[in-house]
Amino acid sequence: MSRLQVITGGGGNTLDIIIPDKLNKYKENTKGLWLLHDKFGTSVDWPGFSQIEFFAEDHNFIIVCLSCGDASYTDWKDGFEWETYLTEEIWKYVHGLIPMLSERPEDNYLCGCARGGFGAIKFALAHWDKFGFAAAFSPDNSTIKRYLKGEEVQFGDRMYGSIDQAVKSNDNLEYAAECLAKSNEKLPEIYIACGFNNSAYECSVEMREMLFCKNYAVIWKESDSDGGWIFYNEQIKKLLDYIEGCD
Amino acid sequence: MAYIRLTFNSQHIGRTEISIFYPQEAHGRSPGGRLQKKLSITRTRNSQTRHEPSPVSKDVRYQCLMLLHGGGGNFGDYPLKTKLQQECENNQLVVVMPTMLDYIDKSEELGSYYEYVTKELPEYIQNIFPVSGAREDNFIMGFSYGGFFSYYCGLRNPEKYKCVGCTSAPVDIIADISKFHYGEPGMPVLEDIINTDFDILALARKHAEAGTDLPSLFQIVGTEDFTWDFNIKARDTLRALGIDHTWIQGSGGHTYDFCDWSIREFMNWLPLKKMQSI
């Protein structure tokens, strides 16, 4: 297994890219798995806190770990455009850097933990032409939920602009799911895993039900875990096995 | 310029680290550019906003320089001790800087750095990144023992490299070992390497007699460098053989300051292509 730690320079940030040894030879349209960290994280979270490098050896993905700081994978009204940066600029950059990585949505999978889980589902709904699958472990969309209820308004205004703007934004997963469901586009597959002792459980169930109602294919996995990196580590292994039909 | 730290599982030398300078303006895109403040606009969902395939041909490949550090160093030497990053960006050149723990190529314990540098690592780089495998696009250069090893690799594989360079290097390795390292543990037995491929000047002589199509050679050294005499003798020998050889000397010693300047000279000398930008 080789690992590339990329500092993109010029005002950009970091990427960690994991390539199993079996993919050292050029193979067109190699599948990609894009990993999103929780809040306050960086691209080293997944390699540092999980065994993803070890698990990846048994699979056929190039794994791209993104960095998004504490920006909730969002284009901030009063801040930086993280969603656009990651889904357009970094998308193009990574495909230019590693030409064998497929650009087809059916070959590009998202997976995130907690806030990254929210980010994964959001990116799959809003960027269906790039990603065909999103997995979320204990997804956390609490920031926008609180804002839409009129809580933490000052902070929310900085992120979303106004409640009206937030309602009709990619961050409002129900709105994003509805818009995509009404289009003629292929819907991404959504995979949600959560422990029923985890604080995100109720939120995860709400997401599941919302997506079911809009005819999304949702794979639901629950366990008695409290969450955290032991849980995410277990789940990423199960996810890789699931995607490649090994489970 | 992007900096990449590559952790790699080599079949020859085990797990190792490599620094890579990768041009920022990859194929005309501006990857990793500044994060911009703009209003967030929900995208319309219709087929006209479908992602278009990359506008740049995937046939565009970068030229590549394999840059070897001196004895006792590692993959961090060039990034930390030189200002080459900007030079590489200006030249749109991919620069690969592996950790080198051995230049002798005879250590069973350390594995074959020769196989790793000349075959395994370039193949990986060319498979993963948009880097050319053509001879005209590949160069190798090194500082001190890294420079000796560059000549060793370049002259043993003349078909792989367009240009080979060294700075502050004991090209005349026989003289270097004889004067400074005779009988040292870990160094080859002098009598075992005379007139072998390890003996760079003997190898060059062999090629000259065979009329081999050799890479262009570049040799640079500081006037205060302790390898000065070895470099002069090597220069004169290579010139006498009629090999395409460029010599540059400057004021300086066996330091990374001098190395920094000399690698810029080398890059200015290389036949670099201007990358097409879209």
SS (H, E, C) B168-200: CCCCCHHHHHHHHCCCCCCCCCHHHHCCCCCCH
Residues of B in contact with A124 (CB under 8 A): none
What ipTM is given for this predicted complex?
0.86
Residue B81 CA neighbour count, 13 Å, CB half: 18
pLDDT, position A99? 94
pLDDT, position B120? 96
Residues comprising chain A, all counted: 247
DSSP A105: G
Q: Which residues on neighbouring strands pair with residue A69, listed in sequence order?
A: A41
Distances A131 to A68, A95, B229 between C-alpha atoms, Å? 18, 14, 62
User: Does A82 contact chain B (CB < 8 Å)?
Assistant: yes
Amino acid at B38: K
pLDDT, position B55? 38
Phi first, then psi: what are they for A176, rounded to 5°? Answer: -60, -40
Residues of A in contact with B50 (CB under 8 A): 129
Asked whether the predicted pLDDT for residue B47 surpasses 90, the reply is: no
Shortest Cα–Cα distance, A16 to chain B (Å): 9
Asked whether the predicted pLDDT for residue B186 surpasses 80, the reply is: no
| Alpha-helical segments (H) within chain A | 45-49, 52-56, 82-84, 91-97, 115-126, 142-148, 153-160, 163-167, 173-182, 201-213, 228-243
Residue A90, burial from CB neighbour count under 10 angstroms (0-12, 13-18, 19+)? buried
The residue behind tokens 């590949």 is B138
- Answer yes or no: do A93 and B46 touch at CB < 8 A: no
Asked whether the predicted pLDDT for residue B215 surpasses 90, the reply is: yes
Q: Is B242 left (phi over 0), alpha (psi -120 to 50) or beta?
A: left
| SS3 state at B256 | helix
Chain-centroid distance, C-alpha A174: 16
Q: How confident is the model at residue B58 (pLDDT cuts 50, 70, 90)?
A: low
Q: How confident is the model at residue B23 (pLDDT cuts 50, 70, 90)?
A: confident
Global pTM reads 0.88
Q: What does A44-55 look like in DSSP terms, one character per residue? A: THHHHHS-HHHH
- Answer yes or no: do A9 and B9 touch at CB < 8 A: no
- Answer yes or no: do A185 and B9 touch at CB < 8 A: no
- Answer yes or no: do B32 and A92 touch at CB < 8 A: no
- Sequence-distant (6+) residues with CB within 8 A of B276 are B28, B60
Asked whether the predicted pLDDT for residue B48 surpasses 80, the reply is: no
